[in-house]
Amino acid sequence: MNPAEIVKKIRERFPKEVLWFVCFRDECSIVVTKEKIKEILRYLKNTPGLEFDYLVDLTAVDYLGFREPRFDVVYHLMSIKHRHRIRVKAQVPEHGCCIDSVTDLWATANWFERECFDMFGIHFKGHPDLRRILMPEDWKGFPLRKDYPVKSDLGDKEWETYKELKESAKAWKENAE
Amino acid sequence: MQNKGITIKELTVNMGPQHPATHGVLRLVLELEGEIIKKCIPHIGYLHRGIEKLSEDLTYVQSLPLTDRVDYLSSMVNNEGFCVAIEKLMGIEVPERAKFIRTMMAEMARICSHLVWIATHALDIGAMTVFLYAMRDREELLEMFEMVTGARLTVSYPRVGGVRCDVNNRFLDKLYNFIEKFPKKVEEYETLIDRNRVWLKRTKGVGVITAQEAINWGLTGPTLRGSGVYYDVRKFFPYDAYDKVDFEVPVGKNGDVYDRYRCRMLEFRQSARIIKQCIEKLPEGPILADNALRIRMPESPLKIDKKDIIFEIYIEDKQIQEFIQKFTEVYASVEAPRGELGFYIICDDSSKPYRMRVRAPSFVHAGVLPKLCEGSLVADVIANIGSIDIVLGECDR
Amino acid sequence: MDTLYIIAITIIKTAVYFGILMLHVAYATYAERKIIGHIQLRLGPMVVGPHGILQPIADVVKLLFKEDIVPAKVDKTIFKIAPIISLTAALSTFAVIPVNKNWVIADINVGLLYVIGIAGIGTYGIIFSGWASNSKYAFLGGLRSAAQMVSYEVALGLSLVGVILMAESFNLTEIVNKQTEYWYGMFLFPQIIAYFVFVVAMLAETNRLPFDLPEAETELVAGYFVEYSGIRFSLFYLAEYLAMFSMSALATICFWGGWTAPPILIKAFPILEFVPGFVWFLIKVYFHIFLFFWLRGTLPRYRYDQLMAIGWKVLIPLALVNIVVTSIVKYYY
């Protein structure tokens, strides 16, 4: 099924939610509001003829200063049966930075959503285990946000946990002696 | 459990991040009851270098060497994936010769990567000899990489719009000789382990994942094909010269460690076939497109034809059109040795990517470990880690 | 005076034995590295001396001078005792093993029982080290080896019952002498099943591939001796190689006719009669040692439950069948 038809189908089913769609180099992205994202994705997954059974990627993009709402959560879907792809983007604002989790639709979304939370601070409602995944558990800030600096301004200061670790090791050593 | 004042609790074992069988810095927290795994929690991120964040501060050309470090065992394929994405974004048509060279090199990288896989996988299960046999052949391939690119591991060889330098006949002869002999060598590994009783006992029926589950968990590459799902980016969405060469995609049946192993062993032969065809069909001509990205002018913005963007807006907002025109985005994926390696790039008319997302197969595959391991024995964890073939550099990025 | 004389002779014998054994172990490590090296398309040690011939000596010196690390939270006494128990047990078995006619320290009547019993004590060293190290990997390794050794000890013992029935003696010298009464000169042929069981159990008993689960490098890192270093580590290493030697010697004595050559061979080539007994013995032992190395270069590792299944469901029934068949045949002929 070509992308235009897919968009048409979704628009028929969810007329209010679809905001716009863009086609570039045979890739189609649909931009939707975040409220019914799970229903839209479930529709895409289960409707005969679409059957997007495979979540290729889930990530987010920060459009700080270019657009309100600030974030886009991007779902790349593919159907192994029909060999077509689509990109669904849900807009998420900075305040109330949350969206429904899709872990019960695709198991692979579990880690993708954790990564997304880790990097952008977007909360996924209904996620079974929303923890940081790549960064240390006590990390402050969300690295892939545009207002997070690439180069650290910590100077020569040590990472706090490392300091704690050194102290506890020292105390333990004294104890042992 | 309370019994005569004795408390029985599970034994928690930290497997990794420094452990010989976790292929790098993967850490698994295993809760054991005897030798049976009750719970398995993978912890990753020990090799996180922030490649996605770094690339936002670098130009497209400068980002290319970063992709080498994503999956350092098959850097050629990573470069290729990045270049394919940028080419798609800019609409560059790559010359035929460059396409064939890239395909050939990517398959070399696939063989290289699979050789490391068979070496470490067999070593984990205890067959030490296979390791050295595989390393012997990998050495030859690395030498050939060095002949063309000057580097053995982090090659940075493909360029946006072609490849960096041409291949010569001496290299092609050497590669051809190697490829002629290679299937014999694969048979050699197979004589060691393929029908070895111990090997079969360790791999058959271990870490089973059905086709349905495998798709749901987002597995790709040989790990998915071992479960009997026919999906290969090279066949589904052909890039470079894959639509001009003849090859088959081996598919397994049971989805256990053994079938994944068989899939990769068969891929060795298919890769050899592709390389042979590439050498035979290699056309003459230029190796870099005319409108390729200029390395000497890294600060010049990308030229993207805005006419190609088709859009429809269903809400009342005047700024949206401007926004859509500004941010062009593209997702391109290649079949890396481990699975589908995708690059999602958003371009904002500057010389630097606004966002570069790497969809790493190892990341997804590491996530499936609890599913494969829970309920099995400690020794099966090792077999499972080997069979999903993860590289932590790619997993953590 | 007589007692003193016997004591002095025994001490001298023991010292000579000990020296030869240590040299053997040192060069067994060298042989292992060379043999596996060549199996794996490498050269093995090549740097120290011609073809690396002095490598074992360099290794010993290095191990002796390495810092002896005792981790802070271990049970210190048991941690220190464990390698000594292992080594003592491994060494003690050699007291009853005859290398040539009358070349034995103690020619006792229950030699075979003694060897099996003492070999069992070695298990304690491993369990102790696993427990005392206060490390989970070592603990798992210790547990594994306890279970493994106990179950394979049974198979090992049962496989030798057939030999005992045929020889009508526990004395190792007697067993060898009995074998020369047959024209083929060894129990290997009538006791082929027992020999098979013995070899498999021997591999498991000495923790060698494909049964090296207690120290499985890639699963438990190094298993029970993960916390050991320097000289204590080398004691375990010594014990492992000594156990390999004692098991090979036992196989040679019980199944291959010890220091004797098969009578049929001597009849065919009378010149062989002049070959000293210990040469035959060593050739047979080295064959078994080579078998150990060969298997290590070839086979992957079994899983824990599979290992136990092989022990209890295959080897022990086989050994029992062998005993029954041997007894019946023995009774009627």
pLDDT in tens, B249-264: 888 888 888 888 888 8
C133 and C79 in contact (C-beta within 8 Å)?
yes
Show the 3-state SS of C135-170: CHHHHHHHHHHHHHHHHHHHHHHHHHHHHHHHHCCC
CB-CB neighbors (< 8 A) of B35 in chain C = 140, 144, 304-305
Q: Is B13 on the interface with C (CB under 8 A)?
A: yes
CA neighbor of C282 nearest in space, from C263, C309, C259, C303: C259
Where does the pLDDT of residue B91 fall: very low under 50, low under 70, confident under 90, or very high at 90 and above?
confident
Helix (H) or strand (E) holding C234: helix C230-255
State the Rg of chain C over Cα: 20
C-beta of residue B312 within 8 angstroms of C-beta of residue A28: no
Query: Considering CB atoms only, which of B88, B310, B323 is closest to A23?
Result: B310
Low-confidence winner among A27-41, B205-219, C226-240, C261-275 (lowest mean pLDDT): C261-275
ipTM reported for the complex surpasses 0.90: no
CA of B104, closest CA in chain C: separation in Å? 29
**Contact residues on chain B for C218, CB-CB shorter than 8 A:** 20-21, 123-126, 382
Chain A hits for B333, Cβ within 8 Å: 56
Alpha-carbon distance of B279 to B283, in angstroms, equals 9
User: Least CA distance to C305: which residue of chain B?
Assistant: B377
- C165-176 in b/e burial notation, b at 16+ Cβ within 10 A? bbbebbbbbbbb
Q: Measured between alpha carbons, how far is A142 from B96 in angstroms, rounded to an integer? A: 43
Predicted confidence band at A157 (pLDDT cuts at 50, 70, 90)?
low
Minimal C-alpha gap between C8 and chain B (Å): 47
Listed by start position, the domains of chain B span 2-43, 51-395
Interchain pair C301, B192: CB under 8 A: no
What is the distance in angstroms between the Cα of C300 and the nearest Cα belonging to chain B? 4
Å between B136 CA and nearest CA of chain A: 35
Answer whether B23 touches C (CB < 8 Å).
no
Contacts of C10 (CB under 8 A, 6+ apart): C105, C106
Q: What is the second-level CATH architecture of the domain B51-395?
A: Orthogonal Bundle (1.10)
Of B215, B309, B355, the CB nearest to A61: B355
Cβ-nearest to A22 among B311, B314, B333: B311
Interface probe with B: pick from C133, C303, C306, C307, most Cβ of B within 10 Å: C303
Q: Which residue, among C126, C52, C44, has the nearest Cα to C297 in the 3D structure?
A: C44
Interface chains of chain A (3 or more CB pairs under 8 Å) = B
Tell me how far apart the alpha carbons of residues B88 and B305 are, in angstroms, rounded to a whole number. 11
SS3 B54: helix
C149/chain B closest Cα distance in angstroms? 17
Listed in sequence order, the DSSP H helices in chain B are: 51-55, 60-68, 75-90, 96-125, 128-149, 169-193, 197-203, 211-216, 221-225, 233-236, 257-281, 318-326, 361-367, 369-373, 378-388, 392-396
Question: What pLDDT shows up at residue A158?
Answer: 66
**Residue A27 clears pLDDT 60, i.e. is over it:** yes
CB contact under 8 A, B218 and A61: no
C-beta atoms of B314 and A55 within 8 A:
no
Q: Report how far residue B375's alpha carbon sits from residue B379's, in angstroms, rounded to the nearest whole number.
A: 12
**Using the beta-carbon criterion (under 8 Å), do C306 and B201 form an inter-chain contact?**
yes
Strand partners for B186: none
Cβ atoms of residues B359 and B233 within 8 Å: no
What value does the mean pLDDT take over residues B97-120?
90
Chains that touch C (3 or more CB pairs under 8 A): B
How far is residue C264 from each of residues C181, C192, C272, measured CA to CA in Å? 11, 19, 11
A56 and B367 in contact by Cβ < 8 A? no
User: How many Å lie between the alpha carbon of C213 and the closest alpha carbon of chain B?
Assistant: 9
Q: Looking at chain A from residue 16 to 55, which residues have their Cβ under 8 Å from any Cβ of chain B?
A: 18-25, 27, 29, 53-55
pTM, 2 dp = 0.85
Contact B216 A115 (CB under 8 A): no
Q: What is the predicted pLDDT for the residue at A156? A: 61
Question: Which residue in A26, A64, A73, A111 has the most chain B C-beta atoms within 10 A of its own C-beta, making it the best mutation to test that interface?
Answer: A111
The answer to whether the beta carbons of residues C30 and C121 sit under 8 Å apart is no
The label of the residue with tokens 């397994």 reads B252
Closest CB to C40 among B132, B196, B199: B132
Contact check, Cβ <8 Å, B45/A76 = no
Among C36, C209, C219, whose Cβ lies nearest the Cβ of B382? C219
Report the C-alpha gap between B269 and B253 in whole angstroms. Answer: 19
Q: Is A139 in CB contact (< 8 Å) with chain B?
A: no
Virtual CA dihedral for B21, B25, B26, B31, nearest 10 degrees?
A: 80
Residue B46's alpha-carbon distances to A168, B27, B49, B390, C197, in angstroms, are 22, 9, 9, 14, 47
Helices C230-255 and C192-205: crossing angle in degrees, nearest 10, is 180
- The pLDDT mean for chain B works out to 85
Give yes or no for A90 touching B (CB within 8 A): no
Residue-wise pLDDT tens digits, B301-324 = 777 777 777 777 777 777 777 778
Question: Cα separation of C162 and C321, whole Å?
Answer: 10
| Residues in chain C, total | 333
pLDDT in tens, B261-299: 888 889 988 999 899 888 888 888 888 888 777 776 667
Is C41 within 8 Å of B20 when comparing Cβ atoms?
no
* CB spacing of A20 vs B324 below 8 angstroms: yes
CB pair distance less than 8 Å for C218 and B21: yes
For the sheet with B11-15, list strands across it.
B11-15, B27-33, B36-43
Which residues, 6 or more positions from B387, have their beta carbon under 8 angstroms from its beta carbon? B121, B203, B207, B223, B226, B257, B260, B261
**Per-residue pLDDT tens digits for B155-183:** 888 888 888 888 888 888 988 999 988 88
Contact A57 B344 (CB under 8 A): yes
**Does residue B2 carry a pLDDT above 60?**
no
Residues 6+ positions from C66 with CB-CB distance below 8 Å: C229, C230, C231
Angle between helix C192-205 and helix C277-298 axes, rounded to 10 deg: 60
Mean pLDDT over A80-96 rounds to: 85
Q: How confident is the model at residue C21 (pLDDT cuts 50, 70, 90)?
A: confident
Q: Number of helices (H) and strands (E), helices first, in chain C? A: 13, 0
Output the pLDDT for position C217: 63
pLDDT in the model for residue B1:
46
- Contact between chains at B123 and C304 (C-beta distance less than 8 A): no
Determine contact: B346 vs chain C, CB below 8 A: no
